[in-house]
Structure 1
Amino acid sequence: MHAVIEKAKLIKLLAMDVDGVLTDGSLYFGNSGEEIKAFSILDGLGIKLVREAGIRPAIITGRSSQLLARRAAELKIDLIYQGREDKLVALTELRSDLGLELSEIAYVGDDLPDLSAIVAAGLGITVANGHSFVARHADWQTDARGGQGAIREVCELLLKAQGKLNAAWEQFL
């Protein structure tokens, strides 16, 4: 865990997959063809807390949806890469656009399409229900499942490592 904390101290960008990370991975379709996703409010607050602490959130996802664009806007996530099946290429573009080193980026994914980005990032993370092969290659695995507070757990790890967690919590007193 010490190595994870040391890596977390350097993080300036938190990049996340969506399905299986910000959601539980289930896809719901209505009779009219509309797509429905459930997002955890715990994750939303975690994203707000890291953003306020100076860690920029980003989304990289293989699927595209207006629903996700709406949720990202609600969370003030302006770095959103939709329809990007090659997560590492998208992560590399994001890194270059922001002038960051890979060591300054955490990436959270859950399945094989995320693996190359998890391995390349300074801090590669998977969720509790992430694929076992992905978990073997990640630096850390959350206790919470995707869509059920895993991103909140990641956010609090980053804030704690950077000495910002208590201040983030105390604003609610």
Structure 2
Amino acid sequence: MDELLPRTRDIRLAIFDVDGVLTDGRLYFLTDGSEFKTFNTLDGQGIKMLINSGVRTAIISGRKTPVVERRAQGLGIHHIYQGREDKLAVLDELLAQLGLEPRQVAYLGDDLPDLPVIRRVGLGMAVASADAFVRQHAHGVTRARGGEGAAREFCELILRGQGNLDAAQTAYL
């Protein structure tokens, strides 16, 4: 992962896919039509540390569910795009809204709809459990699987590359 550190230095926005990245990718539907997802608390803490360091965060998901809205709000993620299949169009909206360039953005995904964004941003990564084609075309691949600490690993990589990881961790001593 050290070879990716130069790509992290200018990152001002980190974007996450949800299903397969912040979750293990399984979809749980209840008989009443509702659904639930499980999230990893380690990932959540990583996202909070990244936000506290000054990096903005966003979610882009092809699916729409109130569970994601609730999780994002609980973590302090302000930019939430759900039900958006064209993730590249959302990236362009975010770049214009925040006045950023693609090189200032990091993205963590797992499947083919994530690939256009992964290839366009400064740091485009895939989780270990991602589709093989996506892993092949990403700048890097996490050791952890989606929903099992991959987002934490991604966040800590950015924090380390920007020289903020030690401060983010020692703040809890």
TM-score range, shorter chain: over 0.9
TM-score normalised by length of structure 1: 0.98
1:22 corresponds to 2:22: yes
Aligned length: 173
2:40 maps to a residue whose letter is: S
1:40-59 C-alpha deviation (Å, 9 max, x unpaired): 00010000000000011100
- The aligned residue for residue 38 of structure 2 is 38
Residue identity opposite 1:137 in structure 2: H
Q: What is the match of residue 168 of structure 2?
A: 168
Alpha-carbon distance between aligned partners in 2 of 1:107 and 1:95, rounded to the nearest angstrom: 13
| Runs of 4+ off more than 3 Å | none
2:88 and 2:142 map into 1 onto residues whose CA distance is 21
Cα distance, 1:2 vs structure 2:
4.7
Structure 1: give runs of 5+ residues left out of the alignment. none
| Structure 1 position 3, deviation (Å) | 4.2
Matches within 5 A, 1:49-64: 49-64=49-64
Q: How far, CA to CA, are the matches of 2:3 and 2:60 in structure 1?
A: 25
| 1:83 partnered with 2:83 | yes
Could you say what secondary structure the match of 1:39 adopts? coil
What's the C-alpha RMSD, in Å, of the aligned pairs? 0.8
AA aligned to 1:16 is: F
Unaligned 5+ runs, structure 2: none
1:50-87 CA-to-partner distances (Å, cap 9, x unmatched) read: 00000111000100111110111101111001111011
Give per-residue Cα distances to partners, 1:82-104, cap 9 Å, x unaligned.
Answer: 11101111111111110000000
Deviation at 1:116, TM superposition (A): 0.3
Aligned AA for 1:29?
F
Letter in 2 for 1:63: R
Question: What is the TM-score of this pair, normalised by structure 2?
Answer: 0.98
- Structure 2 SS opposite 1:59: strand
